[in-house]
Structure 1
Amino acid sequence: MSPLRIGSLDLSSPAVLAPMAGITNVAFRTLCRELELERAGSTAGLYVCEMVTARALVERHPVTMHMTTFGPTETPRSLQLYTVDPEITYAAAKMIVDEDLADHIDMNFGCPVPKVTRKGGGSALPYKRRLFGEIVAAAVRATEGTDIPVTVKMRIGIDAEHHTHLDAGRIAAAEGAAAVALHGRTAAQRYSGTADWGEIARLKEHVTDIPVLGNGDIFSAEDAVKMMSETGCDGVVVGRGCLGRPWLFAELSAVLNDRQMPTPPNLGEVTAIMRRHGRLLADHHGEDRGMREMRKHMAWYLRGFPAGSDLRNSLARVSSLVELEDLLGRLDPTVPFPADAEGPRGRQGSPAAVALPDGWLDDPEDTLVPAGADIMHSGG
C-alpha cells in the first residue's frame, strides 16, 4: 500500500482513527499511538479527537476546551469541527490557526443522530449544496498560508432517495479541501446493515484530485485491505472496529505497509492495556470521572474472553484505580485472544426515517443557516 498525503501531512499509514464522542479523547488516542509504536514500530497514522462544536470553541466553552487537549508529543494534532455557519466556521478555524490548537481540521458532515439532523446539521447539511460549499470554503480561507489541511467526513446522503456524496465530494475539492472521507451508509441507515463500499468506489471515480478515504465496517486489518482493493480508496477511517481494540492500528499499520501483522494480545496483555487506559483517563478527567468513562470500555475489551458475569458486572461499576487493578488481577493472563472476539462491535441499531427541519428538502440551493443547529455540546 502507498503512504497517504493529506495536504502538508505525510502519513506512512493510510489508517485514520474516526472521531467518536466519549471515546477518542487524549487518553484513547495516546493508547492507540503507544500500541502502534510498541507493536508495529511506528506511529504512522492520523488520530482524530472527539468532535467539537465550532460555536462552543469560539465561545471557549470549558468542556469543549478540555476536549481539545492533545498529548505533549502528539503529532499531527487532529481536531474535528461540527459546524453549520460559514462565519462561525471561519472564526473557529482562525482561532485554531492563531492559537496553534491543531495541525489538521476535519469537518463533520456525517453525524446521523436525530438531535443533529433535525436542526439541519451533520449528515443533513450536504443536501444544501451552496451552504455546504460556503462552510468548507470558510475553513479553507481561515487556514490559507498555513500547513493546516482541511478535510471533510460525510455519508452517502440522507436516505436512499437523497444521495449527496458525489456533489459534496466535488464541491469540497473545488473549495480547497485536502481530502474527503465517506462512510458508506446513509443517515437513515445509521449504523445498521452493511456499508455500501460501492459508493466509496463511485466517489473515488468522481473525485480524482484529492484523496478519498473509505469508512464503514472495517473491523480487522483484512477488512481494510479488502476495502482499499475493492474501492481504490486512498485510505481507511476506522471507528467502531477499534472499540476495545486500540491495538488495531498497529495491525493496520503493519498490514497496509506489507509487514507481518503483530500477534493478537492474550488476556494478560489486554488487562495491561486496560490498566494503562484507566490511568490515562484518570490523568485526563480525574479518577472519579475517569473510572466512569472507563466502564463503557469493559465489555468491548473482554468480548470473547472467559470472565464470569459477577466480575464483568463489577468491572462495569468500577470506581477507582485500586479497584480496577484488583478486579483485572482476577482474570487468567494466559488465555489467548479468542476467535469470537473478531467481527462487528459497537452500536448498530435499526434504520429509521431521518429527522429534518420543516421544508429542508424544498431547496438544495438555499444558503440560510439552520437556526439553533450549533447550540449543542461538543462530542455529539
Structure 2
Amino acid sequence: MTPPLKIGQYGVDPAVVLAPMAGITNVAFRQLCREFGSPTSLYVCEMVTARAIVERDSKTLEMMTFGEHEHPRSLQLYSVDPRNVTDAVTMIAAEGMADHLDMNFGCPVPKVTRKGGGAALPYKRRLFAEIVRAAVRAAEPAGIPVTVKFRVGIDDDHHTYLDAGRIAEAEGAVAVALHARTAAQRYSGQADWSHIARLKEAVTTVPVLGNGDIFCADDALRMVAETGCDGVVVGRGCLGRPWLFRELHAAFTGQPLPEGPSLGEVGAILHRHAILLSAHIGEEKGVRDLRKHMAWYLRGFPIGSDLRKSFGLVSTLAELADLIGALDHAAPYPPDAEGPRGRQGSPGRVVLPEGWLDDPEDAAVPDGAELMHSGG
C-alpha cells in the first residue's frame, strides 16, 4: 500500500492523478475515470490558457466545466506572461472557478515551444520563477493550491528539471510533477525514470510526482518503488481504458487486481462515455468527439474491419447502440490490448524562439507568445 498524497489541503488517496490531455480530459472523461477509480484521487481538466480566461473566450469557459460532485475541481493553466497569470488566477479565485491549479511547463507541441511556452519555458529560470510566483500569490487568498508540471528539459543538452523543481518549491508550489522525457523526445522512446529519482532527491519539502510510460498498474507500482516518488500521473495509458483507474486503486490499496473487461463490458463503457459526452456538448458533437476514442477502446479485440470502420464513423447514440449490439459480448479482454497507446511519433528538434538559448536569466516575455486559444 502507498501512503496518501497531500496537494495543499486536499488529500489524494490513492496517490494517482489523471494527467490533463488536450481534447481528452473533459468533464465526461474525467467522470468516467472517477467512476472506476477513487473519488479522492485527482482528475485534471485539459489545459486552458491564462489569456483566454481573462478574455472570457467561450471555448475556454466551456472546457472549464466541472461536474456537480467533482471535487477538488482541478484545472491546468498555461501562460508565458506573469501579468496574465496574475489576472487569470485572480479571476479564477474571485469567481470560484477551480479548487486546484496545475501550471503547464511540459507541452512539447511546436506551436507552443516556438513561442517560448510549455517545455521551452523552464530554460528561462527568472521568467519561470516569476510565473510560478504570480500564480501562487494570486491563488493564496482563496486557498487554492498550485502545482507545477514540467519535462526533463528541451533536449539532452539542455536539462532544466532540477532547477525547475527547486524554483517551483521555493516559489510556493505545493507539489511538482515530472514527465521523464525531454521535449525533443515528445512521446517517443522510453521515459527515463531515473530523472524522477533525482528530482525527488533535489526537492525535499513538497511531493514529487512521476509521469511517463504508466500503461498498467504494475508500471505505477514499479515507478514508485524505483524512484521514491510520492504519486503517479497517468496520461496516455488510460486512453480508451478508463478502467485503468480501477486497477490502480486496487494496486495502491493492496487489493487483488481485477481482470480486464470483456468486449461486452467495453461496449457498455463506450455507451456510458457517449451518454456523458452528449450531456456535456450535445449528442451530435458528443458522439462525433467519441470517434477518436474508438480505436483505443476496441484495441486487440477480434472485430471485423467493417464493424471497426463503422464505429469510427458513428454519428448517433442509437447507431452506437446498434453497433455495440453487434459485438461478441463474451470475447475476453485480449493481451494485445496491453502496452503503449496514444500518440508516440518520432523525436525531433524543438522549435524555439530566435535566440532563446542565449541567456537563461532573461526574464523578458517573448513577443506575441501568449496563446489565445486553449487545448494544447
TM-score, scaled to structure 1: 0.97
- Matched residues in 2 for 1:332 and 1:249: separation? 25
Provide the C-alpha distance between the structure 1 equivalents of 2:255 and 2:88, rounded to a whole number of angstroms: 40
Aligned counterpart in structure 1 of residue 188 of structure 2, from 192, 208, 229: 192
What's 1:93 paired with?
89
Q: How does 1:280-359 map to 2 (within 5 A)?
A: 280-359=276-355
The aligned residue for residue 3 of structure 1 is: 4
Report the Cα distance in structure 2 between the residues aligned to 1:93 and 1:294, rounded to whole angstroms: 31
Question: Are 2:106 and 1:110 equivalent residues in the alignment?
Answer: yes
Deviates more, 1:323-332 or 1:145-154: 145-154
3-state secondary structure, aligned to 2:47: strand
In structure 1, the residue corresponding to 2:140 is in which secondary structure? coil
Quote the residue 1:173 is aligned against. 169
CA distance in 2 between partners of 1:377 and 1:164 (Å): 26
Aligned-partner residue type, residue 109 of structure 2: V
1:130-149 aligned at under 5 Å gives the runs 130-149=126-145
Cα distance in 2 for partners of 1:265, 1:232 equals: 31
In the alignment, structure 1 residue 157 sits paired with structure 2 residue 153: yes
**Inter-partner Cα distance in structure 1 for 2:278 and 2:321:** 13
SS of the residue 2:6 aligns to: strand
Deviates more, 1:367-376 or 1:136-145: 367-376
1:94 Cα offset (Å):
1.1
Tell me how far apart the structure 1 counterparts of residues 258 and 71 of structure 2 sit (CA, whole Å).
Answer: 23
What is the CA distance between 1:257 and its match in structure 2? 1.6
User: In the TM superposition, what is the alpha-carbon distance from 1:44 to its structure 2 partner?
Assistant: 2.4
Name whichever of 269-278 and 246-255 sits farther off. 246-255
Cα distance in 2 between the residues matched to 1:216 and 1:363: 29
Partner AA of 2:130 in structure 1: E
Distance 2:371 2:46 in 1: 17
Q: Which amino acid aligns with 2:323?
A: L
Once residues 262 and 104 of structure 1 are traced to their aligned partners in structure 2, the CA distance between those partners, rounded to angstroms, is 31
How big is the shift at 1:156?
Answer: 0.2
Alpha-carbon contact 1:2-1:257 (below 8 Å) kept: no
Asked if residue 126 in structure 1 is aligned to residue 122 in structure 2, the reply is: yes
User: How far does the alpha carbon of each residue in 1:276-326 deviate from its partner, in whole angstroms, 9 at most, with x for none?
Assistant: 001111111111111111000000000011111101111101111111111
Structure 1 partner of 2:228: 232
Residue matched to 2:63: 67
- Match of residue 199 from structure 2: 203
Indicate which of 214, 219, 226 corresponds to 2:210.
Answer: 214
Q: Counterpart of 2:30?
A: 29
Partner of 1:16: 17
Letter in 2 for 1:282: S
Q: Does 1:263 align with 2:264?
A: no
Check if 1:375 corresponds to 2:376. no
Q: Per-residue displacement from partner, 1:204-227 (whole Å, max 9, x unpaired)?
A: 000010000000000000000000
Q: Using the alignment, how far apart are the partners of 2:218 and 2:178 within structure 1?
A: 19
Alpha-carbon deviation of 1:375?
2.6
For residues 152-176 of structure 1, the C-alpha deviation after alignment (integer angstroms, 9 at most, x for no partner) is 0100000000000000000000000
Name the SS of the counterpart of 1:294 in structure 2.
Answer: helix
Q: TM-score, normalised by structure 2?
A: 0.99
**Match of 1:163, as an amino acid?**
H
Q: Deviations over 1:330-368 (max 9, x none)?
A: 001111111110010110000000000000000000111
- Alignment-derived partner of residue 44 in structure 1: 40
Map Cα deviations across residues 50-90 of structure 1 (whole Å, 9 max, x no partner).
Answer: 10011001110000000000000111110000111101101
Deviations 1:189-244 (CA, angstroms, capped at 9, x unpaired):
00000000000100000001000000000000000000000000000000000001
Amino acid across the alignment from 1:67: M
- Partner secondary structure for residue 150 of structure 2: strand
Deviation at 1:146, TM superposition (A): 3.0
Letter in 1 for 2:113: T
Which stretch shows the higher mean deviation, 337-346 or 144-153? Answer: 144-153
Partner of 1:253: 249
Once the two structures are superposed, residues 115-157 of structure 1 have per-residue CA deviations (whole angstroms, 9 ceiling, x without a partner) of 1000100000000000000000000001123331100010000
Superposition RMSD on alpha carbons, in Å? 0.8
SS in 2 for 1:143: helix
Contact 1:275-1:325 at 8 Å conserved across structures: yes
Letter in 1 for 2:108: P
- The AA in structure 2 aligned to 1:46 is L
- Alpha-carbon distance in structure 2 between the residues aligned to 1:373 and 1:215: 27
For residues 243 and 338 of structure 1, the distance between their equivalents in structure 2, rounded to whole angstroms, comes to 16
Deviation for aligned residue 1:262: 2.3
Kindly indicate whether the alpha-carbon contact (under 8 Å) linking 1:44 and 1:253 is maintained by their aligned counterparts in 2: no
1:83 is aligned to 2:84: no
Greater shift in the superposed pair: 145-154 or 62-71: 145-154
CA contact (8 A) 1:180 1:211 kept: yes
| Equivalent pairs, count | 375
Structure 2, unmatched stretches of 5+, are none
